[in-house]
Homo-oligomer: A and B are copies of this chain.
Amino acid sequence: MVCSAADVLGALGDRWGTLLMRDLLLGLTRYEDLRRSTGATNATLSDRLRELEANGLVERRRYQTRPDRYEYLPTPRGRDLKLLLTAMVQIGDTWNLADREGPPLRFVDTRTGRRVALALVDAETRELVSAGHVAVEAGCGADAVMRWRLERAAALRKAGSDAGPVSADGDATPRAK
């Protein structure tokens, strides 16, 4: 599938892979720590670590001999996922589904001690851009399917706004059966 988001999803594998990258990026490195932290079973854990290694997100490294023991370290590519982690934490914090009194994790600027957040900026000037002014369009790497998605979405938007605000009140009826 021609989509950068799908590429990242594919590299992570699934929930377990993502949870493992969270722990690895927080600084855990050892099998037993990862198992305790995530609660994954041995079969799933060793499979996922292998997969993350095959996808170039972590490196398996011996940290002791007699007996040989190994730890797992994020590669530079794996470290790119810090951005993803930050986004997930930020979204989860605003949702606060578990109704906590505060966030479990805080990202802070080591120089000022103040909290940091993700924001959209102009790619060149680095000036802030408000989310309302951001649009998505096909890039030059887009294939026919991606172009179809965007055109279909644009068509639906047009049909929706043509019909006017009258049709904006759909009812969210419970499913039959």
Count A interface residues, CB 8 Å: 105
CA–CA, A88 to B59, complex, Å?
Answer: 21
Cβ 8 A contact of A121, one of B22, B63, B116, B133: B116
Among A39, A122, A131, A139, residue most surrounded by chain B Cβ atoms (within 10 Å): A139
Is B120 a contact partner of A124 (Cβ separation < 8 A)? no
Closest residue of chain B to A24 (Cβ to Cβ) is B153
User: Given the complex, which residues of B lie within 8 Å of A18, measured CB to CB?
Assistant: 5, 9
Q: Could you name 25 residue pairs across A and B whose Cβ atoms are closer than 8 Å?
A: A4-B88, A4-B91, A4-B103, A5-B18, A5-B22, A6-B19, A8-B91, A9-B15, A14-B15, A27-B154, A30-B156, A37-B149, A81-B91, A86-B87, A87-B87, A102-B140, A102-B141, A104-B138, A105-B136, A105-B137, A107-B120, A110-B133, A119-B126, A121-B121, A126-B128
Interface string of A1-26 (1 = CB under 8 A from B): 11111111101001100110011001
Cβ 8 A contact of A139, one of B104, B110, B114, B145: B104
Known: A116-B122, A118-B120, A153-B26. A172 touches B60 (CB 8 A): yes
Is A22 a contact partner of B3 (Cβ separation < 8 A)? yes
CA–CA, A157 to B30, complex, Å?
Answer: 12
Q: Specify how many copies of this chain sit in the oligomer.
A: 2
Give min CB distance, A60 to chain B, whole Å: 6
Is B134 a contact partner of A110 (Cβ separation < 8 A)? yes
Is A3 a contact partner of B101 (Cβ separation < 8 A)? no
User: Given the complex, which residues of B lie within 8 Å of A4, measured CB to CB?
Assistant: 88-93, 95, 103-105
Interface string of A72-110 (1 = CB under 8 A from B): 010001001111111111111111011011111111111
